[in-house]
Amino acid sequence: MGDTVFDLKGFIEILNKSSSFDDLKLALETYKEDLHISKLVLKTAIDSCELVLNKNSLDVPSFSYSKNGYDYLFYKVNDNYEFTLDDANNIEALLRILAMEHQIVISEKKLVDSELYSHQANIYNVTGYIKKVCSMNPDYSKYNSYYINLKAFGLINRLFGPNEGDYAIKHYAKLLNDFANPDEAVGHLGGDNFVAFIKRFRHEEFVNLASKFTIKLKNKANELEEITLSGVIGYYEFENNQLVNERLISYPAMACQYARNNKKPIIKITKELIESVNSVKDIEKKFKYELNKGNFVIYYQPKFDIVTSKIFGVEALARWHKNGEIVSPGVFVPILEKNGEIIDLDLYVLETLCRDIRNYRSYGYKIVPASCNISRRDFEDPNLEDKIIRIINEYGILPGEIIIEVTETSNLEEKDRLAKFIEKMNKNGIYTSVDDFGTGYSTLSVLRDFKVNEIKIDRSFINRKIEDSDKIIIGSIINIANKLKIQVVFEGIETIEQAKFVLSLGCSRAQGFLYSKPLPKLEFEAKMQEIGTIYD
């Protein structure tokens, strides 16, 4: 057996340090017959612990022996015993076998440990972290659990390369780990995600440490560059001494995700937040089913002519009827936009609207141009236009009866896509409108670049303090739009003063609570009967 297979020196060191010789005793018992070690040596070996040859011993060895580069010095415990070469040989062989055994045990232990450690960060991984926390048997009510994600870490990897990225991860892991006391725990979940279980009274200190660190990294030109990285922190304060697993990692993870989405450095998870996150999951899970069941319904908000107070159009706005509760689009639209399912809702709203228009026509009712909203995300579907045109044709909708509302964009690629969309709609007699006008970046260029039929000036223009410069800007937008025969609608008109003001700027079309809230279908029909349209 070569020395490389096992580390005899390391083994001897361990034996010298070890206080428990139980394993050794057991091993000696097992091997003594094979090795013909005399009873006396065996006794000597076990009781004196001198089996390990201690060069630092002040005693004079009674016998010395060298083999395979190791020096063995034998010390007498029993004065009557004289070591023989055979003894030495046997003991040396025994040591080797034990060292090998020991090596196996160590490597098995390492294997177990490696399942508990993150090699990238040299601290516990998720399993190790949970195990460590549970093994401490702590009073949870005195702790906070944390989840930390390093901000813009992808950028570090790109700018400095993965090796430097790894170095930063190790560095940060060490910072956290050095901070943690034995009754606390820190773990690395992979990537740039960390967890920590810290005594509550140390919260501030921990947050100070974890939220920012500075490190020198080698850039691609091999120069050291000092950069500061931030940790986005989500945390949970245990309310009682009870560990429900999700509270250790999922709750702070939820808070961290929420903090990232909302560009906050730190968020504590609360009941309300958990509910809102769960409702996201709820929407994602139930959307298709609820849509098919007809639980997404359309509300109709009429648009009014300010001068005559008559209806000139209507906007379809989605609502979710969820177990008797009405959920507003502000809740579900962003979620469906995120997971890309918004197009299903938008086409559903469009189709429902088209069906209504066809029905109204067949009943001989009045019809006003009806708008529906298309999310920017829908443009990712290259067949969006065809899908819209197919629906509109299927229901025999006439030009100008449907208006598709889109929103502005500053992204050039998206702009190109939007221009193509508007052009195709134009060709097919479908009107388009720019919603939330003025909240984007391109405002005036929209009028120049896109042949839209309508712009809807965003509510934020009317519900803030209007400066003189605003008046000039909005006034000239309205002026230009009028000249280009683009209809201007003011959104969010809530008071007569606002209506008058809008009129004074040259805009006579408004949508807002002053005139009507979005209404369920039957109420909208009643309103149409009651008020009448400008087309009467």
Residues binding ligand C2E (CB under 6 A): 301, 317-318, 328-330, 333, 342, 345-346, 349, 373, 375, 405, 435-436, 459, 491-494, 511-513, 518
For residue 178, the surrounding DSSP H or E stretch is helix 162-179
Identity of the residue, 171 or 376, whose beta carbon is nearer to ligand C2E in the bound complex: 376
Angle between helices 329-339 and 271-292 (to 10 degrees): 80
267's contact among ligand C2E, Mg ion, none, with CB below 5 to 8 A by partner kind, is: none
Among 132, 436, 457, 515, binds Mg ion (CB under 5 A): 436
* Site mask for Mg ion (CB under 5 A), range 326-365, x = bound: ----------------------------------------
Determine the interface stretch with Mg ion among 159-167, 183-191, 371-379, 418-426 (rule: CB under 5 A).
371-379
The least CB distance from residue 151 to Mg ion, in Å, is 32
Q: Which of residues 375-414 bind Mg ion (CB under 5 A)?
A: 405
375's contact among Mg ion, ligand C2E, none, with CB below 5 to 8 A by partner kind, is: ligand C2E
Contacts with 57 (C-beta within 8 Å, 6 or more apart), sequence order = 73, 75
Burial class (CB in 10 A: 0-12, 13-18, 19+), 522: exposed
CB atoms within 10 A of CB 201: 10
For residue 197, the surrounding DSSP H or E stretch is strand 193-199
The least CB distance from residue 342 to Mg ion, in Å, is 13
Inter-residue contact 290 to 345 (CB < 8 Å): no
Cα–Cα distance between 185 and 155 in angstroms, integer? 28
The least CB distance from residue 514 to Mg ion, in Å, is 16
CB atoms within 10 A of CB 142: 13
Determine the interface stretch with Mg ion among 119-127, 251-259, 431-439, 519-527 (rule: CB under 5 A).
431-439
92's contact among ligand C2E, Mg ion, none, with CB below 5 to 8 A by partner kind, is: none
Q: Which of residues 39-98 bind Mg ion (CB under 5 A)?
A: none
The least CB distance from residue 212 to ligand C2E, in Å, is 37
Cα–Cα distance between 309 and 512 in angstroms, integer? 12
Q: In Å, what is the CA distance from 291 to each residue of 75, 105, 217, 320, 323?
A: 86, 59, 51, 9, 14
Strands 185-190 and 431-437: unpaired
The least CB distance from residue 318 to Mg ion, in Å, is 11
Identity of the residue, 436 or 454, whose beta carbon is nearer to Mg ion in the bound complex: 436
Spell out the long-range contacts of 476-481 with Cβ–Cβ below 8 A and sequence spacing 24 or more: 477/437, 477/438, 477/443, 477/444, 477/447, 478/505, 478/506, 478/507, 479/506, 480/444, 480/447, 481/447, 481/455
365's contact among ligand C2E, Mg ion, none, with CB below 5 to 8 A by partner kind, is: none
Cα–Cα distance between 295 and 293 in angstroms, integer? 6
User: Residue 266 — φ and ψ, nearest 5°?
Assistant: -150, 140
Determine the interface stretch with Mg ion among 357-365, 372-380, 412-420, 516-524 (rule: CB under 5 A).
372-380
328's contact among ligand C2E, Mg ion, none, with CB below 5 to 8 A by partner kind, is: ligand C2E
Cα–Cα distance between 188 and 120 in angstroms, integer? 9
The least CB distance from residue 528 to Mg ion, in Å, is 19
512's contact among ligand C2E, Mg ion, none, with CB below 5 to 8 A by partner kind, is: ligand C2E
Q: In Å, what is the CA distance from 215 to each residue of 153, 169, 233, 367?
A: 13, 10, 19, 66
Contacts with 324 (C-beta within 8 Å, 6 or more apart), sequence order = none
Q: Which of residues 458-517 bind Mg ion (CB under 5 A)?
A: 491
Identity of the residue, 184 or 408, whose beta carbon is nearer to ligand C2E in the bound complex: 408
Identity of the residue, 346 or 436, whose beta carbon is nearer to Mg ion in the bound complex: 436
Identity of the residue, 217 or 343, whose beta carbon is nearer to ligand C2E in the bound complex: 343
511's contact among Mg ion, ligand C2E, none, with CB below 5 to 8 A by partner kind, is: ligand C2E
Q: Does 435 bind Mg ion (CB under 5 A)?
A: yes
Inter-residue contact 218 to 168 (CB < 8 Å): no
Closest CA to 312 of 32, 54, 176, 511: 511
329's contact among ligand C2E, Mg ion, none, with CB below 5 to 8 A by partner kind, is: ligand C2E
The least CB distance from residue 341 to Mg ion, in Å, is 19
The least CB distance from residue 436 to Mg ion, in Å, is 4
Identity of the residue, 184 or 491, whose beta carbon is nearer to Mg ion in the bound complex: 491
Cα–Cα distance between 118 and 194 in angstroms, integer? 11
Inter-residue contact 296 to 329 (CB < 8 Å): no
Token pair recorded at residue 45: 């070996």
The least CB distance from residue 404 to Mg ion, in Å, is 10
The least CB distance from residue 462 to ligand C2E, in Å, is 9
The least CB distance from residue 509 to ligand C2E, in Å, is 13
Closest CA to 213 of 241, 171, 167: 171
Identity of the residue, 138 or 302, whose beta carbon is nearer to ligand C2E in the bound complex: 302
Identity of the residue, 345 or 430, whose beta carbon is nearer to ligand C2E in the bound complex: 345
Identity of the residue, 142 or 517, whose beta carbon is nearer to ligand C2E in the bound complex: 517
Q: Which of residues 237-266 bind Mg ion (CB under 5 A)?
A: none
Helices (H), 180-326: 203-210, 245-248, 250-261, 271-292
Burial class (CB in 10 A: 0-12, 13-18, 19+), 70: middle
Q: In Å, what is the CA distance from 77 to each residue of 91, 298, 390, 463?
A: 15, 96, 100, 96
Identity of the residue, 74 or 379, whose beta carbon is nearer to ligand C2E in the bound complex: 379
498's contact among Mg ion, ligand C2E, none, with CB below 5 to 8 A by partner kind, is: none
| Chain contacts with Mg ion (rule: CB under 5 A) | 373, 405, 435-436, 491
